[in-house]
Structure 1
Amino acid sequence: MSLLSKFNMDEIMNCMQCGFCLPSCPTYRQTGKEVASPRGRIALMKGVAQKALAVDEEFEHNMYLCLGCRACETACPAGVPYGSLVETAREVVETRKKEEKTLPFIRNLVFNQLFPYPERIEKLGTALWAAQAAGLHTLARKTGLINVLPRPLAEMQQSVHKVASPTERKKRQKVMKPEGKPAQLRVGMFKGCIMDVMFYETNQATARVLTKAGCEVVFVDDQACCGALHAHAGEKDGAIALAKRNIEAFEKAGVDLIVNNAGGCGAALKEYHHWFHGDPDWKERAMNFVSKMRDANELLAELPELEFKKELNLRVTYQDSCHLAHGQGIRNQPRHLLRSIPGVEYIEMINADSCCGSAGIYNITNFDMSMRILDDKMENVKMTKAHVIVTSNPGCLLQMKQGIIRAGMQDKMEAIHIMDLLDRAL
């Protein structure tokens, strides 16, 4: 297959260039530039696919300036699958770069040496826990040594959760059952890679909430990263390899359903079958996997109402995960869950489904643009006068924590994953 034949011209030509996507696009709103819009990027893809434009640095910049939030897919009257188009464009960029020179050290480290190996991510988590336990983060802030780091990392570390200790992680029960009643469903927990290190307790909270809803929860062995970061960064072969590992792991587990609590991971997991064009055996296995996949909010909406034990007496607003809202179409379920908690006053945020600027590692690779988008989002957050911003994705959670710090609202507001809030009320 030639490099440019990777583009699906039928999907590109489906774009009517109507411009309905423009108001929904965060980078277009920030820059006002056509090439920073979905319509403009698709026009660039068309030019490259037809060999009228080169796969050069300008094309690469415009493809990677996109957050991949997929708000344009919600707005598009023609149903153009923009997310898959921009992933293909990035795959073309990275394939061309590999043909021309060796893979950059950091990129090779992240995509080839770290994320495919869960045990290495686990060790990284242990190192981070040790640094926190030794007070190195606090010392670095107080002495100013933190400023040795690049600015994106120096600011980001302020919002990093306390990492669970190795001892705490070893205590995990591989199977958690509902108390005092037979299980209605046996569900496999997709725990994620960074999610299970940085947000171990959120995974535990999710499992506890699901047991309260009558599920037996299994932490399935041999699962790996979902592959979303690889796919979004043009590393499609790596994404497919990870997908195969996860499909095999959950086939062996023999669960009724598979559940995850990260909007970004869930969108990728539900699209595995699109990654196996030309491979009918794996595509069929992927379709079976996808048919069982549920977001935790989605699954809870299918089960009997939760019986809460306490009132929280909080004013709460909700920040949509882009890949949960635009990628999976899940909007009402988390809002219903929040409104069902006794004592919660739910306040709908203006443009709640506009991107917060996190977008995987975008807040590191495109820090300035990410912070501009975040600061705009925080203006809408402030208007709600909420005590709590609730999210359904770990990246959004870190970003909103950073937004609270940037806005100087640490004493007035907290950011929390919806499963942690439900667990608190249960």
Structure 2
Amino acid sequence: MKQQEKERIQQAFKEKVDYNELMNCTRCGFCLPSCPTYIETGKNEVHSPRGRIALMKGLVDGVIEPSDEVKRSIDMCLGCRACEPVCPSGVQFGRLLEQARDAIYQTNNQSVTMRLTRNLAFKKLFPNHHHMITMTGLVGFYQRSGLQKVAKKTGMIRVVPKNLRAMENVLPQVPKRKDMKRRPTHLQSFIKQKKRVAFFSGCLMDTVFMTTNDATMRLLQYAGCEIVIPKTQGCCGALHGHSGEQEQSKEMAKKNIAAFEDENIDYIITNAGGCGAFLHDYDHLLKDDPEWKERANKFAGKIKDISSVLVELEFHKIDLQLDDQIVTYQDSCHLKNGQNTFMEPRQLIEAVSGVDYVEMTDASRCCGSAGIYNIVESEMSMQILDYKMEQAKKTKAKTIVTSNPGCLLQMKLGIEREGLGEKIEAIHLVDFLLEAYENANK
């Protein structure tokens, strides 16, 4: 790293990183047992929340210089925020991490390939829903046309990096392009209306995981909700915020706030833990923008996970039925640590007749998905996943339920790596509940 680049990064840390938040850390170490990378690296302090905060503060104070080792420590963090609930001082580590990554990635010299890749993903693909439909439509064509089978049979698939090949195996069947473009904007309740809600459909959720979005809306209708789905909404910006693209994430936040703020609604419903937590933090993201601060506060105050609203509407007290089976639950880190939603998914699962719920050891420890972490930090991700699968197998569960698309794919990947595809399935909570409801109410 050249001296000029080091100076730019150090200055960026001084400008972007909240020094008061850094000072809130008392170095007590309560965060250490909750940090997956600290545990998996053999209790290396550099890869702990306390250690990363020390590095950030050292950069701001000028005690240490930016280096590849410092960047590695910041990159290695999952951003799971498991350190936050156990911190006696209430340090908002997730926000510090986003600020640190923004300081690094908006300042350091990136290769041409890296700049082009980030520009394509963060500025062209995710912010533009039409581009998302086109891209995922191509994946769907690859799956349906026979090209996928040919690529595997001939060995051509080996030109793709091993970690991406593994993810390709567990992708759901992508809907047709015409179906992704033909989405509802308003739905009536199936029973006497109890709430009027808006649904945040997202980007990947409304393309790759479109059937789960459909299941979410049907559950809301069964629970007594009228639903509006604003057409002008877009990607939440979580991947941008977590990857050092804060300015882009702010623009995306403003677009979403404007899309929802004129709707007369009780809540804005989400079904992806990562998206929900980032939407919930729009008030912090835009706290320094006088035009958007109050609008962001109102928006964030209406965010509610699907599991929370279903419990509020007493969906767990109606008939839900599945074949006899053991079920366990893998927490979405951001649903638990970002939205403080922990018991609601469990209440809903345990309400299903035929289900024997068994809590997994360390159910709330990150599975290693963490957005695109399982792609860019594959080795550590798989190390974390292997531990998770050890705990899942101990429950003897037939079904692993989770509440986030990344977690879902990661658990499916874990099942495949263990060769347990014939014995265990992973499923999103809403797909699980819809099946239970419709099975009981045929």
For Structure 1 versus Structure 2, the TM-score category normalised by the shorter chain is over 0.9
Q: State the partner residue of 1:96.
A: 107
Q: Which of 56, 69, 73 is equivalent to 1:58?
A: 69
The alpha carbon displacement at 1:328 in A equals: 1.2
Would the alpha carbon gap of residues 44 and 132 (structure 1) be closer, same or farther in structure 2, given more than 3 Å must change? Answer: same
In structure 1, how many angstroms separate the alpha carbons of the residues matched to 2:26 and 2:152?
A: 51
Which has the higher mean CA deviation after the structures are superposed, 126-135 or 399-408? 126-135
Q: Secondary structure of 2:323's match? A: coil
CA contact (8 A) 1:312 1:341 kept: no
The alpha carbon displacement at 1:278 in A equals: 2.2
Aligned residue runs from structure 1 range 16-415, under 5 A = 16-31=26-41, 32-97=43-108, 104-170=115-181, 172-179=183-190, 181-306=191-316, 307-308=318-319, 310-415=321-426
Q: State the partner residue of 2:4.
A: none
The alpha carbon displacement at 1:98 in A equals: 5.9
Q: Secondary structure of 1:229's match? A: helix
The alpha carbon displacement at 1:77 in A equals: 1.2
In structure 1, how many angstroms separate the alpha carbons of the residues matched to 2:120 and 2:423?
A: 39
Question: Is 2:427 the counterpart of 1:416?
Answer: yes
**C-alpha RMSD of the superposition:** 1.7
The alpha carbon displacement at 1:281 in A equals: 2.6
In structure 1, how many angstroms separate the alpha carbons of the residues matched to 2:36 and 2:429?
A: 24
Q: Secondary structure of 1:71's match? A: coil
The alpha carbon displacement at 1:170 in A equals: 4.8
CA contact (8 A) 1:188 1:258 kept: yes
CA contact (8 A) 2:320 2:352 kept: no
Which has the higher mean CA deviation after the structures are superposed, 41-50 or 304-313? 304-313
The alpha carbon displacement at 1:58 in A equals: 1.9
In structure 2, how many angstroms separate the alpha carbons of the residues matched to 1:410 and 1:367?
A: 21
Q: 1:205-261 deviations in whole A, cap 9, x for unaligned?
A: 000011111001222211111011000011000000000000000113333210000
In structure 1, how many angstroms separate the alpha carbons of the residues matched to 2:320 and 2:88?
A: 44
In structure 2, how many angstroms separate the alpha carbons of the residues matched to 1:381 and 1:182?
A: 40
CA contact (8 A) 1:321 1:355 kept: yes
**Where does structure 1 lack aligned partners over 5 or more consecutive residues?**
none
CA contact (8 A) 2:171 2:409 kept: yes
In structure 1, how many angstroms separate the alpha carbons of the residues matched to 2:222 and 2:288?
A: 42
CA contact (8 A) 1:312 1:425 kept: no
Percent of residue pairs identical: 47
Q: Secondary structure of 1:52's match? A: coil
Q: Secondary structure of 1:220's match? A: coil
CA contact (8 A) 1:55 1:93 kept: no
TM-score, normalisation: structure 2: 0.93
CA contact (8 A) 1:400 1:415 kept: yes
Which has the higher mean CA deviation after the structures are superposed, 40-49 or 278-287? 278-287
